[in-house]
Structure 1
Amino acid sequence: MLKQDKEPILQQIKHSCYITRSREGEQFVPEHVFSYQIAGSIQITDGEHTYHVKEGDFRLSKRNHLIKFIKSPPPNGEYRALSIYLDQQTLRNFSMEYGLKSEKHDTDGPFIALKPNGLYKSFMESLLPYQQSGHTISNELQRLKLREAILILLQGNPELKDVLFDFSEPGKIDLEGFMNKNYQFNVELKRFAYLTGRSLATFKRDFEKTFHTTPGKWLQQRRLQQAHYLIKQKKQAPSEVYLELGFEDLSHFSFAFKKAFGVAPSKV
């Protein structure tokens, strides 16, 4: 008889389900995520490129990326996706057991579109009964399923070892270029620091040397400048712009905008 887990459930297998027309958000992706789009679609942007994932698609979202997304359910239906979170410890253990190592550092975009594969679909569908019946998958079963997911990914795409088993942390990169690309992401400063290969203290020090102001002041000013451009030149609505540029709510955005430009965004 199997001994019952007393540890907290890992929750690395997640079933997303939304009935709203669209759900916008943004996030820092700390781990690789193997996903199956069951119904509906998702639009993903990393600040430079936009990717569209439709029903039936499989993808691998790569760790250490900033993304924004819009999840859209199908007409008269539900948005549904199943995701497997491949944490670093699981991947390190797998790497040691099988002697697999990354041979090059991956520098491409935030996710990889995976070609349709019968193994992928069978594997994902085997997880649905647990999710749909409301049962919780035990820690031990989740661990087995994570290993199975890694084996299946490598069988279909052996080259993924260079992504999955790359355990390097972000190196110190050009701060000005990174911030001008990613200023619209509403994440904590420690995330920006980590992704530029710096401690938080070093990030703040380097930031003031580069921009001659604090990160908080620069981020708000840069976002407001872009907001003014989008509203005036591109005729976008303030209700669309504030989310796109990383403001937490419309009232805060409107207050900051009026303070900076002397006029409410709705009056531009």
Structure 2
Amino acid sequence: MADLKSNTHKSPIAYSCYFTRNREGEQFAPEHVFSYQISGTLTINNGEQEYVFKPGDYRFTRRNQLLKFIKQPPSDGVFKSVSVYLDQETLRSFAMEHGYQADHAHSLEAGSVIALKGGGLVKGFMDSLMPYCEDDQLIDVDLQALKLREAIMILLRSSPAMKDILFDFSEPGKIDLEAFMNKNFHFNVQMNRFAYLTGRSLATFKRDFEHIFHTSPSRWLQQRRLQEAHYLIKEKGRAASEVYLEIGFEDLSHFSFAFKKMFGVPPSRLAS
């Protein structure tokens, strides 16, 4: 079993350390994240594009993104990364104090994850976090605030255009619901999250959804995920154990039961 060490403790500075095996999962990124890949490989997929980060790489993950990831330790080694979460309150305060304002709004579709250049400032900042991360220490509130502001300043120094992302405080606008759901059906998130990302209240999301798809969101999601699974197993030769998480199911036995109910045969028989 993988050994996990993290100093999150509700801290905006997080250290991840995984041993022995790959770890796959998905997440919703509610805040911007500034990260450094120390060892191992991280693969991120937003449903349309795949990003791969190797040791020594720096990245910036934009807020309000649905992402799948694979954390792969090196052979006989350890996966390590450190991340700084930039919350909206800190960014608003920084923008007001220094007179920053976004000139251009960035849509949900543009650049989920941005590869950043390194350099002495960036490396020095990330190195300064390691004594706290590696000893799993909780950084006190005042020092956290200083480190967050330092991270913002370094990002702006490294790429002045980042201000249009960092200081864009707009919420997701109302977008094409059908296109969004067909792209993101395989993400296993709550309905209110889908509603938020499409710029709707939950009630409006459900009403618009049923108007477009003529069924409930939960029923459509299960059917769409099972259809995708059928394609991957029958046409691509994938195993059920490989695809059930990928297409949005949490449990293999529940997936197999739902698959058999919809198609009349268990996924194992379809594969054979």
Q: When the two structures are superposed, what TM-score results if normalisation uses the length of structure 1?
A: 0.96
SS at 2:245 equivalent? helix
Instruction: Tell me if the contact between 2:20 and 2:77 (Cα under 8 Å) persists in the aligned partners.
Output: no
Match of 1:187 among 179, 189, 193: 189
Measured in 1, the distance between the counterparts of 2:130 and 2:31 equals: 22
Measured in 2, the distance between the counterparts of 1:133 and 1:210 equals: 52
Residue 3 (structure 2) aligns with: none
Q: For 1:192-211, list aligned pairs within 5 A.
A: 192-211=194-213
Residue 87 (structure 1) aligns with: 87
Measured in 1, the distance between the counterparts of 2:142 and 2:84 equals: 15
Instruction: Tell me if the contact between 1:10 and 1:139 (Cα under 8 Å) persists in the aligned partners.
Output: no
Measured in 2, the distance between the counterparts of 1:10 and 1:238 equals: 36
Residue 73 (structure 2) aligns with: 73
Residue 164 (structure 2) aligns with: 162
Instruction: Tell me if the contact between 2:44 and 2:52 (Cα under 8 Å) persists in the aligned partners.
Output: yes
Residue 145 (structure 1) aligns with: 147
Q: Please list every run of 5 or more consecutive structure 1 residues that lacks an aligned counterpart in the other structure.
A: 1-8
Residue 264 (structure 2) aligns with: 262
Match of 1:215 among 199, 213, 217: 217
Measured in 2, the distance between the counterparts of 1:215 and 1:135 equals: 43
Q: CA deviation at 1:249?
A: 1.1
Residue 105 (structure 2) aligns with: 105
Residue 178 (structure 1) aligns with: 180
SS at 2:259 equivalent? helix
Deviation sequence 1:233-255 (CA, Å, 0-9, x none): 00011111101101001111001
Match of 2:120 among 115, 118, 121: 118
Runs of 4 or more consecutive aligned structure 1 residues displaced over 2 Å after TM superposition: none
What amino acid maps onto 1:15 in structure 2?
Answer: Y
SS at 2:142 equivalent? helix
Match of 2:241 among 239, 242, 250: 239
What amino acid maps onto 1:245 in structure 2?
Answer: I
Deviation sequence 1:155-209 (CA, Å, 0-9, x none): 0110000000000000001110000000000000001000000000000010000
Q: CA deviation at 1:118?
A: 1.5
SS at 1:243 equivalent? coil
Q: CA deviation at 1:10?
A: 4.6
Instruction: Tell me if the contact between 1:20 and 1:72 (Cα under 8 Å) persists in the aligned partners.
Output: no
How many residues are paired up?
260
Instruction: Tell me if the contact between 1:10 and 1:142 (Cα under 8 Å) persists in the aligned partners.
Output: no
Measured in 2, the distance between the counterparts of 1:162 and 1:238 equals: 43
Q: CA RMSD in A?
A: 0.8
Measured in 1, the distance between the counterparts of 2:17 and 2:136 equals: 13
Q: When the two structures are superposed, what TM-score results if normalisation uses the length of structure 2?
A: 0.94
Instruction: Tell me if the contact between 2:23 and 2:70 (Cα under 8 Å) persists in the aligned partners.
Output: yes
Change in 2 beyond 3 A, CA 1:262/1:10: closer
Deviation sequence 1:42-92 (CA, Å, 0-9, x none): 110001111111111000000011000000001111100000000000000
